[in-house]
Amino acid sequence: DGGITQSPKYLFRKEGQNVTLSCEQNLNHDAMYWYRQDPGQGLRLIYYSQIVNDFQKGDIAEGYSVSREKKESFPLTVTSAQKNPTAFYLCASSITGRSEAFFGQGTRLTVV
Amino acid sequence: AQSVAQPEDQVNVAEGNPLTVKCTYSVSGNPYLFWYVQYPNRGLQFLLKYITGDNLVKGSYGFEAEFNKSQTSFHLKKPSALVSDSALYFCAVLYSGGYQKVTFGTGTKLQVIP
């Protein structure tokens, strides 16, 4: 089945630790995105990538980093510099930046 | 700059009645407009989009939306609501020119009452 896969579904992090969220797609999409979802705030864009080896900061990139070494993979690292990382993280991909997006099932990150 | 507003945090409708979830947008130039639905603890699912052409767009699960350029609105509608339609609905806008970056609304929770 074609789709976009995020792992893990739930992730717990101790304060001061870096964690990496995985996002893989087999849809052959060029564009990939990371969003953060907090209650009542909708989706906020963290990073996006239109092609391999290129990515751009979104609206709330501070404390996060990404890489796009392969077309199908766009991992997100939540660093210790992110002061409030507890949230629901969504990865998405689209054929182009102007197409509708396909979303993964999300990763819920909790700082303990 | 672009923005999208969903003025209602929650919409309640009785099963079988028509439903409307409101969305207004602001963008310089021609917009691309999208509706997505999210069920609890899941990712978003695409419902429909407007790019150009007919102002009435039909999408998945019997949903449709009407693009109104003069009112800068893109309201989501369905003639007869189902309990299973209860979910969180997001409107999104994209400026058709320039570098593509979608802006999402804050979401509207739809509650269909049996």
Predicted local distance difference test score (pLDDT) of residue B101: 75
Is B105–A90 a contact, with Cβ atoms under 8 angstroms apart?
A: no
Average pLDDT over residues A50-59: 92
pLDDT score, position A28: 94
Which residues of chain A lie closer than 8 angstroms to B9, CB-CB?
A: 40
List of chain B residues whose C-beta atoms are within 8 Å of the C-beta of residue A40: 9, 106
CB neighbour list of residue A84: distance below 8 Å, 6 or more residues apart:
none
Tokens 């999408």 -> residue:
B59
| pLDDT of B27 | 86
Nearest to A44 by CA among B107, B8, B10, B97: B107
Distance CA A104, CA A85 (A): 19
pLDDT class for A96, splitting at 50, 70, 90?
A: confident
DSSP E strand boundaries for A1-112? 4-7, 10-13, 19-25, 31-37, 43-51, 54-57, 64-66, 76-78, 87-94, 102-103, 107-111
Nearest CA to A65 among A76, A52, A51, A49? A76
pLDDT given for residue B97 in this prediction: 62
Q: Which residues of B touch A3 (CB under 8 A)?
A: none
> Which of the four pLDDT bands, split at 50, 70 and 90, describes residue B113?
very high
- How sure is the predictor about A33, in pLDDT bands with cuts at 50, 70 and 90? very high
Say whether pLDDT at A43 is over 70: yes
Q: Which residues contact B90 (CB under 8 A, 6 or more apart)?
A: A42, A43, B6, B35, B36, B37, B38, B44, B104, B105, B107, B108
Nearest CA in chain A to B94: A98
B84 — alpha (psi -120 to 50), left (phi > 0) or beta?
A: alpha
Residue B29 forms contact with A (CB below 8 Å):
no
The pLDDT, as a whole number, for residue B41 is: 85
The per-residue pLDDT for B67 is 95
**pLDDT (tens digit, 9 = 90+) per residue, B41-100?**
889 999 999 998 889 999 999 999 999 999 999 999 999 999 999 999 999 998 766 556
Q: Amino acid letter at A90?
A: L
